[in-house]
Structure 1
C-alpha cells in the first residue's frame, strides 16, 4: 500500500537515497561539485525550510516532494518506482494543498519535463541557472 505523508527527520536517509538515485538519471549533466553542495543544501537548507511529503510504499520511503508555498522545490522518486503513479500522487497532494503550482526544471531533464507536461504544467518562462549555466524552464499548473 502506498501513502503520502509528512516528512519526519527519520526519513532523511531514504530521502537522500531517492535524490541521489534520481539525480544520476535526471541530471547527469550537472557538475559533481554542484551536486555535492546540493546534497548538503538538502539537509541544512531545503528540508528545514520546506513543507515536505514522502511517498511510502509498504513502510519504505521511496520518494519525496518539497514545497515552498505553491512552488515545487523538488520531486524525487526512486527510479525503480517511476511509472507507478507515485509522482502523480505527490503532485496531487501539493495541488490539493496549494492549488496552482510552479516548478523549475532543467531543460535537459527530459524525465522531469515530460512528467510535468503530462500532468498539465505549461511553460511560462525560460532562464539560465546561475550556478551551472544550464537553461531552466519555469512551468506552471493552473488548478482552475
Structure 2
C-alpha cells in the first residue's frame, strides 16, 4: 500500500535520488552538466520553497510531487514503480489541495506527456525552456 505524506527535511537525500533516477529515465536528452546544475538548484533552493509530498511503500520513499501554489514543479517516481497508480495518487493529492494545476513538461518527455494526458491535463502553449534549452509544453488541469 502506498502512503502519501508531507516531506520532511530528512527526505532531502531520497528526493534527490528519486529525481536523479527518474530524470535519467524520462529526460535522457539532458546533458550531465545541466542535470548536475538542476540537482543543485533543487537541493539548495527549490525544496525550501516548495510544498512537497512523498509517496512511500513499506517505509521507503519511491516518489514525490512538489508544488508552488498551483504549479506542479515536479512529479517524479523511481522507474521501477511506474504503472502502479503512485503518480496518480500523488496528483490526486495535489488536485485535492489546489484544484486547478499547471505544469511544464518537455516535448521530448513522452513518459510524462502520456501520464499528464491520461490524467486529464490539456496542452497549452509551447516554448523553449531557457535553462535546459529544450522545448516544453505548458499543461493545465481543472478550472482557473
Common fold by TM > 0.5: yes
TM-score range, shorter chain: over 0.9
Question: Which residue is equivalent to 1:97?
Answer: 97
**TM-score, scaled to structure 2:** 0.97
1:24-103 equivalences under 5 Å are: 24-103=24-103
> How many angstroms does 1:66 deviate by?
0.3
CA deviation map 1:23-69 (0-9, x unaligned): 11101101211100111111111100000000011111111000000
Q: Is the partner of 1:139 in helix, strand or coil?
A: strand
Runs of 4+ more than 2 Å apart: none
- Tell me, in whole angstroms, the C-alpha distance in 2 between the residues paired with 1:132 and 1:13: 23
- Tell me, in whole angstroms, the C-alpha distance in 1 between the residues paired with 2:65 and 2:116: 13
Does the CA contact (< 8 Å) of 1:102 and 1:141 recur in 2?
yes
> How many angstroms does 1:143 deviate by?
5.2
Task: List alignment gaps of at least 5 residues for structure 2.
Answer: none
Deviates more, 1:75-84 or 1:7-16: 7-16
Q: CA RMSD in A?
A: 1.1
Alignment length (residue pairs): 144
> How many angstroms does 1:132 deviate by?
2.5
**TM-score, scaled to structure 1:** 0.97
Q: Is the partner of 2:131 in helix, strand or coil?
A: coil
> How many angstroms does 1:5 deviate by?
0.4
- Tell me, in whole angstroms, the C-alpha distance in 2 between the residues paired with 1:126 and 1:20: 25
